[in-house]
């Protein structure tokens, strides 16, 4: 039975300070870890408020299992950091965390899960995490209660184990105290009110604290704490079961503690608990708990177990760990914990708010809490985390991520916790949240859709709606040939793609040019022109790869990653001068892009503008009319062809689409989707935001330093100057592959050692080659360099390309 501890400096007599640098609301493992890290890194004047005892949310009844595996490599890194941290906080606080580093395995009972684990192993290789494959017999040797006949292999990880969740939370809090921070129990935050100077008054029954920053670490009450500020956080507590068995004699007699494990197909996790086993499972049909809100009087209570809900999983477990069928169940635990829409935490500075931070939806707090604390402290104190934490950034969701949508997606995510999601898989729940005016039209054309930042967009086009299906998997699937057809049309004639899902940011006002010159590393164009520019952080890391357009002395637009739009809004709003007006206008401008040699002929039929090669040159832009509707017309292309982007207000999109289709009918026009675009940009050697370009890399590492205007001051300039000769570089590779391509995160090897990793890749249809991009040491980045890439456990030869395979001089684009 999980135990509740009592804090030593509970509510008691101690007076609440009137001011703090930061106030953390919530004393679960996440809040306590942030308290520890802030104090350790210098913000000693930080206070944590807990409405009850510490660990009064989900933290006290966690199963306490810890591991490094995560879908995102940087989250894996932070999980490794979290696990390594436990010794430090135990020593510093003198409070036991009850750590057992038993090691653990991930069991593969079929080829698909074996393939998945091979991918994980490949990631671990370049991350320097210690994982190795062991045979089913070795599994049984290390854990004699497991029947090895169900397995074909297992991935062993030394860094797996378990701990006492309550002890770990207290150790964080007490270690924070050692560093000078304070925490107050039985002190609920009842109201959060922002003062005009941006600081916050946090009201409690024991008085009010004024703080420069506040952090919502409300866990089960994250939604309620957010609502104090009108913030609707799309997280959802989910019921979760685990069982504790009676004593198992073989365990009592064993000389060592048994390792812990996860069996994906059976959907169970297990570990030793005292002389028995703890066995947990993620139900096939998840049960959202308290959809309308978590009651404030919910305390250290558990929920009524529903063993029928997990009966199918138990059958698997009894088969694979037969002793489970022989011993009694000592206790069945059903407790709620909070999930986010994609299963990853939601952390960071909340876009649109000042000095309001959150660290919520942390569903594996004992694996991730340390890393979340580290990241939050770096972000709050230094202005940016030391690694790219996009996978956890609260800004990856926008206002479309409503509470209802959050419940649907968080439930889906809970149910899929141990269910395979393939790299090319589209998830079914929460779809059609946002659609454009031509959604049905594209479906009728055979579009296979996915969702990005809440908006549906086409991946590829089949021969009609009935034909628009594909089997997810690691290998190429039936979409391959359809994508080839789209690429062929765009390269030979003309292709059209919907571009509603790109972000558009508008800047107006007398100070707009000077402001953009300061935040963008590249050239800000003159009226009627666009330029490409990186945007850097103070530390010289990439924070954007943007197209900037000028429409007048005081009017500019930035075009960039759709998924980054809230993160960019947050960035732009930080120190926006009074003489600049900024708006995220992404939803005001939908549109189409034309690519291919016949795109000029299509456009010429639809506009009175002179769009001849001389009349509208590469990187020209203007506000004009196409197909009789007002548009922003830009001559630019991500496909490497002669191309145009045509943005219009959403209400004109259907009209524009009909006209483009009509004009293109005799010119070989074909619709294409995101996969064809990604294929075409690969053979041009162009990186993509979120994959090849991310805050993990500098402009020089990513090869974007050529776009920098060194003759001006801009954010990140001194770091960029210092990093002109980077130790690693982004390269484009060709690979010798049949029937499969890289997706991302595969290890790149040289002479048997992991030297880098794949950031993106796929099949380049026009040149007929499998290609990839990835970061390798600079000395291995020259054209012709031979390397290897690990895909599903096999090594394949790869060669660094010195120039784009398609139109290396960019003549087509400029034609
Ligand atoms: C059955 C079960 C098994 C689990 N197993 C594991 C596991 O094996 N490994 C793992 O890593 N994770 C596991 N977890 C998940 C883990 O428990 C959570 O990830 C973790 O507890 C989240 O911590 P938190 O600090 O975000 O939230 P919580 O623990 O919910 O803490 C939030 C705290 O905020 C306080 N609070 C809320 N509102 C206010 C307010 N207005 N004023 C002051 N205080 C406030 C609450 O009282 C509470 O103490 C499990 C969870 C469950 C339920």
788-800 residue pLDDT tens: 999 999 999 999 9
Task: Please report the atom of ligand 1 found closest to the CA of residue 31.
Answer: 25
Nearest to 426 by CA among 674, 688, 747, 679: 674
Cα(55) to centroid of ligand 1, in Å?
7
- Please tell me if the CB atom of residue 219 comes closer than 6 angstroms to any atom of ligand 1: yes
Inform me whether the pLDDT recorded for 128 exceeds 90.
Answer: no
Q: Is 769 left (phi over 0), alpha (psi -120 to 50) or beta?
A: beta
Per-residue pLDDT band for 205 (boundaries 50, 70, 90) equals very high
- Please tell me if the CB atom of residue 343 comes closer than 6 angstroms to any atom of ligand 1: no
Among 30, 219, 227, 296, the mutation site with the greatest number of ligand 1 atoms within 8 A of its Cβ is 219
Among 2, 7, 26, 82, the mutation site with the greatest number of ligand 1 atoms within 8 A of its Cβ is 26
SS3 of 169-192? HHHHHHHHHHCCCEEECCCCCCEE
Cα-to-chain-centroid distance, residue 298: 31
Per-residue pLDDT band for 5 (boundaries 50, 70, 90) equals low
φ and ψ at residue 296, rounded to 5 degrees: -65, -25
d(CA 791, CA 735): 11
Among 1, 32, 56, 58, the mutation site with the greatest number of ligand 1 atoms within 8 A of its Cβ is 58
Cα dihedral value 267, 272, 278, 281, nearest 10: -10
The answer to whether 680 and 637 are in contact (CB under 8 A) is no
SS3 of 402-469? CHHHHHHHHHHHHHCCCCCCCCCCCCCCCCCCECCCCHHHHHHCCEEEEEECCEEEEEEECCCHHHCC
For the chain, the C-alpha Rg in angstroms (whole number) is 27
- Please tell me if the CB atom of residue 189 comes closer than 6 angstroms to any atom of ligand 1: yes
Among 24, 53, 57, 200, the mutation site with the greatest number of ligand 1 atoms within 8 A of its Cβ is 57
pLDDT, tens digit, 9 for 90 and up, residues 19-56: 999 999 999 999 999 999 999 999 999 999 999 999 99
Cα(34) to centroid of ligand 1, in Å?
14
- What are the CB-based long-range contacts (under 8 Å, 24+) for 775-778? 775/697, 775/701, 775/728, 775/729, 775/730, 775/731, 776/728, 776/729, 776/731, 776/748, 776/750, 776/800, 777/727, 777/728, 777/729, 778/725, 778/726, 778/727, 778/728, 778/729
pLDDT at 11: 43
Residue found by looking up tokens 């991009």 in the block: 773
Compute how many other C-beta atoms are within 10 angstroms of the C-beta atom of residue 612.
10
The answer to whether 761 and 682 are in contact (CB under 8 A) is yes
Residue found by looking up tokens 């048994």 in the block: 258
pLDDT at 127: 86
Residue found by looking up tokens 């994508």 in the block: 483
The answer to whether 592 and 498 are in contact (CB under 8 A) is yes
Interior angle at CA 663, CA 660 and CA 668, nearest 5: 95
pLDDT, tens digit, 9 for 90 and up, residues 478-521: 999 999 999 999 999 999 999 999 999 999 999 999 999 999 99
d(CA 263, CA 154): 9
- Please tell me if the CB atom of residue 457 comes closer than 6 angstroms to any atom of ligand 1: no
The lowest-confidence range among 99-108, 289-298, 310-319, 479-488 is 310-319
Nearest to 351 by CA among 400, 398, 386, 385: 398
d(CA 539, CA 404): 38
Task: Please report the atom of ligand 1 found closest to the CA of residue 29.
Answer: 25
Instruction: Please tell me the residue having the least CA distance from ligand 1 atom 2.
Output: 62
pLDDT, tens digit, 9 for 90 and up, residues 391-420: 999 999 999 999 999 999 999 999 999 999
Q: Which pTM was predicted?
A: 0.97
d(CA 223, CA 464): 43
Cα(282) to centroid of ligand 1, in Å?
17
Inform me whether the pLDDT recorded for 12 exceeds 80.
Answer: no
Strand, coil or helix: what is 694?
Answer: coil
772 CB-contact burial (10 Å; exposed 0-12 / middle 13-18 / buried 19+):
buried
Higher pLDDT, 657 or 314: 657
CA distances from 725 to 252, 343, 538, 703, 713 (A): 59, 38, 18, 11, 20
CA distances from 568 to 261, 297, 342, 343, 454 (A): 40, 39, 21, 23, 17
Interior angle at CA 705, CA 767 and CA 799, nearest 5: 35
Strand, coil or helix: what is 357?
Answer: strand
Task: Please report the atom of ligand 1 found closest to the CA of residue 64.
Answer: 8
% pLDDT > 70, the chain: 98
Cα dihedral value 164, 169, 171, 174, nearest 10: -150
Nearest to 715 by CA among 558, 539, 544: 539
Task: Please report the atom of ligand 1 found closest to the CA of residue 335.
Answer: 53
Instruction: Please tell me the residue having the least CA distance from ligand 1 atom 19.
Output: 365
Query: To which H or E segment does residue 356 belong?
Result: strand 356-360
Q: How many helices (H) and strands (E) does the chain have?
A: 19, 37
Higher pLDDT, 729 or 311: 729
Cα(305) to centroid of ligand 1, in Å?
19
SS3 of 211-246? EEEEEECCHHHHHHHHHCCCCCCCCEEEEEEEEEEC
Among 306, 337, 345, 392, the mutation site with the greatest number of ligand 1 atoms within 8 A of its Cβ is 337
**Separation of first and last alpha carbons in the chain:** 72
Task: Please report the atom of ligand 1 found closest to the CA of residue 49.
Answer: 43
Per-residue pLDDT band for 748 (boundaries 50, 70, 90) equals very high
CA distances from 145 to 265, 272, 317 (A): 18, 11, 11
Per-residue pLDDT band for 651 (boundaries 50, 70, 90) equals very high
Per-residue pLDDT band for 129 (boundaries 50, 70, 90) equals confident
Q: Pairing state of beta strands 46-49 and 19-25? A: parallel
The answer to whether 679 and 765 are in contact (CB under 8 A) is yes
Instruction: Please tell me the residue having the least CA distance from ligand 1 atom 34.
Output: 26
d(CA 525, CA 517): 10
- Please tell me if the CB atom of residue 185 comes closer than 6 angstroms to any atom of ligand 1: no
Compute how many other C-beta atoms are within 10 angstroms of the C-beta atom of residue 755.
21
- Please tell me if the CB atom of residue 364 comes closer than 6 angstroms to any atom of ligand 1: yes
- What are the CB-based long-range contacts (under 8 Å, 24+) for 761-764? 761/682, 761/733, 761/735, 762/675, 762/678, 762/679, 762/682, 763/476, 763/480, 763/483, 763/679, 764/679, 764/680, 764/682, 764/683, 764/805, 764/806
pLDDT at 10: 46
- What token pair was written down for 195? 């003062």
Task: Please report the atom of ligand 1 found closest to the CA of residue 336.
Answer: 53
pLDDT at 13: 59
Inform me whether the pLDDT recorded for 7 exceeds 70.
Answer: no
Inform me whether the pLDDT recorded for 772 exceeds 60.
Answer: yes
- Please tell me if the CB atom of residue 62 comes closer than 6 angstroms to any atom of ligand 1: yes
- Please tell me if the CB atom of residue 32 comes closer than 6 angstroms to any atom of ligand 1: no
Task: Please report the atom of ligand 1 found closest to the CA of residue 187.
Answer: 43
Instruction: Please tell me the residue having the least CA distance from ligand 1 atom 16.
Output: 365
Interior angle at CA 276, CA 272 and CA 279, nearest 5: 60
DSSP state of 527: T
- Please tell me if the CB atom of residue 26 comes closer than 6 angstroms to any atom of ligand 1: yes
Per-residue pLDDT band for 299 (boundaries 50, 70, 90) equals confident
Strand partners, 494: 669
Inform me whether the pLDDT recorded for 216 exceeds 70.
Answer: yes
Cα-to-chain-centroid distance, residue 402: 18
Per the prediction, the chain carries an average pLDDT of 96
Task: Please report the atom of ligand 1 found closest to the CA of residue 165.
Answer: 17
- Please tell me if the CB atom of residue 27 comes closer than 6 angstroms to any atom of ligand 1: yes
d(CA 101, CA 95): 17
DSSP state of 14: P
pLDDT, tens digit, 9 for 90 and up, residues 179-195: 999 999 999 999 999 99
- Please tell me if the CB atom of residue 373 comes closer than 6 angstroms to any atom of ligand 1: no
- Please tell me if the CB atom of residue 225 comes closer than 6 angstroms to any atom of ligand 1: yes
Cα(177) to centroid of ligand 1, in Å?
20
pLDDT, tens digit, 9 for 90 and up, residues 580-614: 999 999 999 999 999 999 999 999 999 999 999 99
């Amino acid at each position: 039975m999980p135990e509740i501890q009592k804090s030593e400096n509970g509510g008691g007599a101690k007076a609440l300070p009137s001011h703090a640098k930061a106030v953390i609301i919530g004393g679960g493992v996440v809040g306590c870890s942030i308290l520890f890290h802030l104090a350790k890194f210098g913000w000693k004047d930080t206070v944590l408020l807990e409405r009850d005892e510490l660990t009064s949310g989900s933290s006290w009844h966690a199963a306490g299992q810890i591991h490094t595996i995560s879908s995102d490599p940087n989250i894996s890194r932070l999980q490794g950091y979290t696990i390594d941290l436990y010794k430090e906080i135990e020593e510093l606080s003198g409070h036991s965390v009850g750590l057992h580093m038993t090691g653990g395995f991930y069991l593969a009972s079929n080829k698909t899960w074996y393939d998945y684990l091979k991918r994980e192993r490949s990631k671990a290789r370049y991350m320097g995490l210690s994982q190795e494959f062991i045979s089913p017999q070795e599994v049984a040797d290390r854990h004699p209660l497991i029947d090895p006949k169900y397995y074909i292999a297992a991935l062993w990880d030394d860094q797996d184990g378990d701990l006492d969740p309550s002890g770990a939370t207290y150790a964080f809090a007490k270690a924070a105290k050692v560093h000078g921070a304070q925490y107050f129990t039985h002190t609920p935050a009842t109201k959060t009110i922002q003062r005009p100077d941006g600081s916050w008054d946090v009201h409690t029954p024991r008085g009010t604290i004024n703080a420069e920053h506040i952090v919502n670490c409300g866990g089960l009450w994250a939604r309620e704490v957010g609502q104090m500020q009108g913030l609707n956080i799309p997280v959802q507590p989910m019921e979760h079961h685990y069982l504790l068995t009676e004593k198992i004699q073989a365990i009592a007699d064993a000389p060592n503690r048994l390792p812990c494990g996860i069996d994906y197909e059976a959907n169970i996790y297990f570990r030793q608990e005292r002389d028995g086993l703890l066995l947990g499972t993620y139900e096939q049909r998840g049960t959202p708990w308290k959809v309308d809100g978590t009651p404030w009087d919910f305390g250290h209570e558990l929920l009524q177990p529903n063993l029928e809900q997990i009966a199918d999983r138990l059958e698997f477990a009894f088969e694979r760990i037969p002793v489970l069928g022989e011993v009694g169940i000592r206790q069945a635990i059903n407790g709620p914990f909070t999930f986010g829409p994609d299963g990853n935490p939601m952390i960071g500075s909340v876009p649109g708010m000042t000095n309001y931070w959150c660290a919520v939806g942390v569903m594996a707090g004992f694996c991730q809490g340390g890393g979340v604390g580290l990241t939050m402290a770096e972000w709050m104190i230094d202005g940016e985390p030391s690694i790219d934490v996009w996978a956890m950034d609260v800004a990856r969701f926008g206002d479309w991520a409503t509470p209802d949508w959050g419940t649907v997606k968080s439930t889906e995510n809970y149910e899929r916790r141990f269910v395979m999601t393939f790299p090319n898989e589209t998830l079914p729940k929460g779809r059609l949240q946002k659609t454009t005016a031509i959604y049905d039209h594209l479906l009728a054309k055979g579009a296979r859709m996915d969702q990005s930042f809440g908006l549906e967009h086409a991946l590829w086009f089949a021969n009609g709606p009935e034909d628009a299906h594909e089997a997810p998997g690691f290998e190429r699937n039936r979409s391959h040939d359809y994508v080839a057809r789209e690429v062929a049309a765009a390269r030979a004639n003309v292709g059209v793609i919907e571009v509603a899902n790109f972000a558009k940011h508008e800047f107006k006002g007398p100070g707009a040019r000077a402001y953009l010159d300061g935040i963008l590393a590249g050239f800000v164009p003159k009226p009627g022109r666009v330029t490409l520019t990186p945007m850097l952080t103070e530390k010289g890391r990439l924070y954007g790869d943007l197209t900037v357009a000028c429409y007048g002395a005081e009017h500019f637009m930035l075009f960039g990653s759709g998924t980054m739009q809230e993160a960019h809004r947050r960035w732009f709003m930080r120190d926006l001068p009074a003489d600049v007006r900024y708006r995220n206008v992404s939803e005001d401008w939908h549109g189409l892009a034309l690519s291919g040699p016949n795109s000029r002929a299509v456009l010429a039929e639809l506009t009175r503008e002179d769009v001849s090669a001389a009349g509208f040159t590469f990187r020209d832009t203007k506000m004009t009319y196409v197909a009789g509707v007002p548009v922003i017309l830009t001559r630019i292309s991500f496909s490497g062809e002669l191309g145009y982007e045509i943005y219009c207000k959403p209400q004109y999109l259907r009209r524009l689409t009909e006209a483009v289709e009509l004009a293109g009918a005799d010119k070989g026009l074909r619709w294409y989707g995101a996969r064809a675009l990604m294929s075409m940009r690969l053979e041009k050697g162009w990186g993509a935001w979120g994959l090849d370009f991310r805050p993990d890399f500098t402009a020089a590492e990513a090869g974007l330093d050529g776009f920098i205007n060194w003759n001006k001051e801009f954010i990140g300039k001194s770091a960029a100057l210092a990093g002109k000769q980077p130790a690693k570089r982004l390269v484009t590779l060709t690979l010798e592959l049949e029937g499969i391509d890289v997706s991302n995160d595969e290890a790149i090897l040289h002479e048997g050692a992991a030297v880098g990793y794949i950031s993106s890749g796929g099949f380049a249809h026009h040149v007929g080659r499998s290609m990839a991009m990835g970061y390798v040491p600079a000395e291995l980045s020259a054209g012709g360099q031979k390397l290897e890439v690990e895909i599903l456990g096999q090594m394949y030869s790869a060669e660094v390309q010195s120039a784009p395979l398609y139109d290396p001089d960019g003549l087509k684009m400029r034609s």
